[in-house]
Amino acid sequence: MKRVLIFLAITFALSWIYEFVVVYPLVESDVSQGISATATFAIGAVMFSPAIGVALTRLVTREGFKNCVLKPYPWRKSLPWFLVAWFGPAILVAFGAVVYFLIFPGDFDPQDAQFAAMLERQMADSGVQADLPSVVVLAGVQIAVGVLLGPLLNIATMFGEEWGWRGYLMPKLAQRLSIVSTLLISGIIWGLWHAPITALGHNYGLGYPGWPITGILAMCVFCVVCGVFLSYVTIRTGSCLAAAFGHGALNALAGASTIFAAAGVSPFIGPSPTGIIGGCGFIFVAIFMLFDLRRREARGELVVPIAGSEEPMPLHETLDR
């Protein structure tokens, strides 16, 4: 557990100091004009801090770089779960959006008005005119690219996070705790790690009741739910690369459902997967996965990858590859 505390201290220190010293001044200077490309890039760079935390922890504690939770199990066993990681988020985002628009049909905007307005502003700045057919086509292209290429396009930054959260923290906690406790605690930690960016408006915006505490708590819940999915595909493949692909797919498609949403929808409700209804697909799947992992643990069949130095493992986690 000492290595876990060192990893968390390094990761949180690197992330939060960087965000307060670099990101906050950049964002505050952009308040009147929206967040610039420079500030967006700076926010994205913080995703590498968990991987840096892993590397420094392994060096400082002389743990070395064995058992990095990178090499998957044989493809016959792991490939189906890599496909789940790649395409599962798209299905779950779409499911949550459909449920949301069935409950709130008045929020459905088939004309993509918000997306069209944003696109027209961008094209006007470039001296290009946009008509409705081109907007619809571009919306479809954006979604298709997110589904097919999003996990690959986002792999660098997502690996920066997932080598830390699913490739180090989750396996280390699982050596000492039950799988349910492991996934709840690691998810809450992941959510709290986002706190400074959440306070800047990430996922939940600004000015909502209870800002920023409400958003931070909601982000913790969201991270617990998504963390179960990402941990499950890591456990089933033996590799945190599956989680990196799944995380990349989620980030690429999280905003897709809002393309068809009227103005004024709440990110706490939907259709974005950050909302309780928009994220219902992820919630249902996370509950199923959590029960499956708990069942495997009770039967002594649970296999959790070992990260770094092999410490004494509970009998129910004996490897069975």
Q: What is the pLDDT of residue 264?
A: 80
Burial class of 56 by CB neighbour count within 10 A (0 to 12, 13 to 18, 19+): middle
Average the pLDDT over 231-247 and give the result: 98
Q: Please check the confidence at residue 244 and state whether its pLDDT lies above 70.
A: yes
More confident residue, 30 or 80: 80
**pLDDT classification of 36: cutoffs 50, 70, 90:** confident
More confident residue, 83 or 137: 83
Average the pLDDT over 211-240 and give the result: 98
Give me the amino acid identity at 13: A
Q: What is the pLDDT of residue 143?
A: 87
User: How far is the C-alpha of 215 from the C-alpha of 240, rounded, in Å?
Assistant: 27
Query: Tens digits of per-residue pLDDT, 132-157?
Result: 556 667 777 888 988 999 999 999 99
Only one residue has tokens 């770089």, namely: 65
Q: What is the mean pLDDT of the chain?
A: 89
**Do 245 and 85 contact (CB within 8 A), yes or no?**
yes
Q: What is the pLDDT of residue 119?
A: 55
Predicted TM-score (pTM) of the model is: 0.90
User: How far is the C-alpha of 118 from the C-alpha of 193, rounded, in Å?
Assistant: 30
Comparing CA positions, the residue from 229, 196, 224 lying closest to residue 17 is 196
Task: For helices 240-253 and 75-103, give the axis angle rounded to 10 degrees.
Answer: 30
N- to C-terminal Cα distance for the chain? 25
User: How far is the C-alpha of 82 from the C-alpha of 78, rounded, in Å?
Assistant: 6
